Every structure is written in structure tokens, then in C-alpha cells.
Amino acid sequence: MTTLYGLKNCDTCKKAMKALDAGGVDYTFVDIRAEADLKTLAPRWIAAVGANSLVNTRSTTWRGLSEAERARAETDPAGLLAEHPTLVKRPVIETGDTVFVGWTKDVQAALGV
């Protein structure tokens, strides 16, 4: 089963969902702000892909953080993401035990779309 974690209004997430639909890939969409349990998911994702791949340092949310909060990206990335779900680089796609972050050509190829 494939699960796509993202935001409903995220353009990249919309592109990913459209491509998955067109490719016939069955998936479940989970809104990371409203439905996801990031206290459980973030540590698992960080273990799979690393904090640097998961924390979106180019986001508006990141730019609004204090220096102390930004420092938590190094010391407590899971806690930071749980408190600020929009810092998660999107989409996060889980398929089996594999975790993909973003919607790159490599991710699309791996998912067969």
C-alpha cells in the first residue's frame, strides 16, 4: 500500500497525486497538518531518509523561526517537525518499508509513474 503525506493545497502534492492517479497507483492521502501523527511518523522518516532530506529549510515556516528553533533541526528534528508540520518537505510517500521525500524524477521512476 502506498501512502502520500502532504498538504491539500500544496502544488507539488497535487502534481504527485495527479501522476499517481494517471499511473494507476493506488494510494491513500494523509494531510500532515490535520491527520498525521508526526510524533510517531517523523522519527521513522528521519531514520529512513535523514533529517536534512526531511526538513524544508526553504519554506516560509522555516524563515519565520527563531535561531533557537532552527537549531532544533540539528538537535531535535522530530520534535521540530511535530510542532511545525509545514516544515516537512513534501510529499512524503511511503510504500512498504520505503520512504520517499519530494517529487523528483527519481521518486517518479521508483514508483513507476
Q: Say what the pLDDT of residue 50 is.
A: 95
Give the contacts of 108 (CB within 8 A, at least 6 positions apart).
19
Enzyme catalytic residues: 10
Report pLDDT digits (tens) over 48-96.
999 999 999 999 999 999 999 999 999 999 999 999 999 999 999 999 8
- Are 80 and 55 in contact by the 8 Å Cβ rule? The answer is yes
Count how many domains the chain has. 1
- Is the whole model's pTM more than 0.95, yes or no? no
Residue 20 is part of a domain; what is its CATH number? 3.40.30.10
Q: Could you list the residue range(s) of the whole structural domain that residue 25 is in?
A: 2-111
Q: Secondary structure of 24-88 in the HEC alphabet?
A: CCCEEEEECCCCCCHHHHHHHHHHHHCHHHHECCCCHHHHCCCHHHHHHHHHCHHHHHHHCHHHE
Mean pLDDT of the chain, nearest integer: 95
Query: What is the mean predicted confidence (pLDDT) over 82-111?
Result: 95
